[in-house]
Amino acid sequence: MKMFIISDNTDTATGLRLAGVEGTVAKSREETLDALEKAMEDKEIGIILITELLADLVPEVISDIKLNRSRPLIVEIPDRHGTRRPSDYLLNSVNKAFGVKVE
């Protein structure tokens, strides 16, 4: 099973390519959608890594894949500039998912 990176900058894509992860660079919503479609067609790809900036361009597609498909696993990653999410993003997600306040 392979991983595939869809990145908004060449530095992130190049860094992961050095680790053996193939991928592509996308700069727009259309390019991101095309890259996701091509990656989804490849039956060998089990994990798609996508930078947060690009995931924010297509949130409805990312949600649909995560909720309605068993493959591939979509993982949103920060790019070389770091995360764009607030520091309590994960904690808030857990609180929303379980309806319990975790501190």
CATH class for the domain made up of 2-98: alpha beta
For position 70, what pLDDT does the model report?
A: 87
Q: Where are the domains of the chain?
A: 2-98
For position 82, what pLDDT does the model report?
A: 59
Round to whole Å and give the CA distance between 86 and 93.
11
Region 77-100 average pLDDT:
66
pLDDT higher than threshold 60 for residue 89? no
Mean pLDDT of the chain: 86
For position 81, what pLDDT does the model report?
A: 61
Round to whole Å and give the CA distance between 92 and 28.
28
pLDDT digits (tens, 9 = 90+) for 38-50: 999 999 999 999 9
Instruction: Specify the pTM.
Output: 0.78
User: Which stretches of the chain are DSSP H helices?
Assistant: 10-18, 29-41, 52-57, 59-68, 89-98
Q: Are 72 and 48 in contact (CB under 8 A)?
A: yes
Nearest CA among 88, 63, 89, 85 for reference residue 74? 63
